[in-house]
């Protein structure tokens, strides 16, 4: 009986580990719905992660949770020595921060910019980006951040301007990488030279945004667990 009890207990533990492993694998691929289902099916499904997933899937938080998810994902890619992938995640996190802020603070959609909503100093420049066919004005990462900085006393623009040159350095590394526009893979030293700047820049931006928007942080996303015991 004791042996059977031990076997049943071991089987239950292994089943839980397998379910959690599948959940975090899905999350690692940004399949948040599947990750949430699997965590919900596991006994003691790590409540803080499910809370964060609920926000990612639409429950109102501060709006920048996906940026934080990208940063944690970049950390995991770097830990696996996949530095091109890690830099790609950092790039997307910087871009997404600008997109969310412009939408929430200034009601500007970076995929279709309304010139009436932007400062006059930027209108001629942005008009030149208009698509010839559908007339939509789309802006990329750097233009989005420059647009933010064009709004007088914008809290994210204020913190961006003195860091613009450093951001250009990061973009140069990213654009020359094998998975972007170049032929040179990102080395560990390339990644290490940029990651602290990006993380500090975005952490500062998110905290300023939360304060300005009077939003609320429901939960802070920890890195994925290394053990399920």
Going residue by residue through the chain (229 aa), what tens digit of pLDDT does each one get?
Answer: 445 555 777 888 888 889 999 999 999 999 999 999 999 888 776 888 988 998 888 767 788 999 999 999 999 999 999 999 999 999 999 999 999 999 999 999 999 999 999 999 999 999 999 988 888 999 999 999 999 999 999 999 999 999 999 999 999 888 877 766 766 788 899 999 999 999 999 999 999 999 999 888 877 888 999 888 7
Contacts 24+ apart (CB under 8 A), 6-14: 12/43
pLDDT value for 218? 77
Show the domain range for 7. 1-59
Residue 18's alpha-carbon distances to 42, 54, 156, in angstroms, are 9, 22, 42
Tokens 């914008």, residue located: 154
Same domain for 171 and 109: yes
Same domain for 111 and 15: no
Q: Whole-structure pTM over 0.75, yes or no?
A: yes
User: 207 in helix, strand or coil?
Assistant: helix
Same domain for 66 and 46: no
Answer yes or no: is 227 within a domain. Answer: no
Among residues 13, 11, 10, 38, which one has the least CA distance to residue 24? Answer: 38
Same domain for 124 and 19: no
Number of H helices, E strands in the chain: 10, 0
Residue 102's alpha-carbon distances to 92, 96, 139, in angstroms, are 15, 10, 11
Domain boundary among 39, 59, 79: 59
| CB-CB contact of 75 with 93 (8 Å) | no
Same domain for 5 and 74: no
Same domain for 93 and 46: no
Same domain for 81 and 42: no
């Amino acid at each position: 009986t004791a042996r059977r009890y031990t076997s049943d207990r071991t089987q239950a533990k292994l089943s839980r580990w397998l379910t959690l492993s599948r959940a975090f694998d899905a999350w690692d691929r940004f399949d948040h719905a599947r990750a949430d289902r699997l965590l919900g099916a596991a006994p003691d499904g790590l409540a803080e992660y499910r809370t964060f997933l609920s926000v990612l899937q639409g429950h109102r938080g501060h709006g920048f949770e996906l940026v934080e998810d990208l940063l944690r994902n970049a950390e995991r890619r770097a830990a696996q020595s996949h530095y091109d992938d890690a830099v790609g995640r950092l790039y997307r996190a910087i871009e997404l921060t600008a997109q969310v802020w412009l939408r929430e603070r200034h009601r500007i959609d970076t995929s279709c910019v309304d010139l009436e909503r932007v400062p006059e100093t930027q209108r001629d420049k942005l008009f030149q980006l208009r698509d010839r066919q559908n007339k939509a004005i789309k802006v990329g990462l750097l233009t989005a951040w420059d647009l933010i900085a064009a709004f007088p006393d914008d809290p994210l623009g204020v913190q961006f301007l003195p860091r613009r040159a450093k951001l250009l350095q990061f973009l140069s590394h990213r654009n020359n990488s094998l998975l972007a526009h170049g032929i040179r893979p990102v080395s560990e030293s390339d990644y290490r030279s940029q990651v602290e700047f990006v993380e500090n820049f975005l952490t500062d931006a998110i905290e300023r945004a939360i304060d300005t928007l009077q939003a609320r942080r429901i939960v802070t996303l920890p890195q994925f667990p290394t053990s399920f015991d």
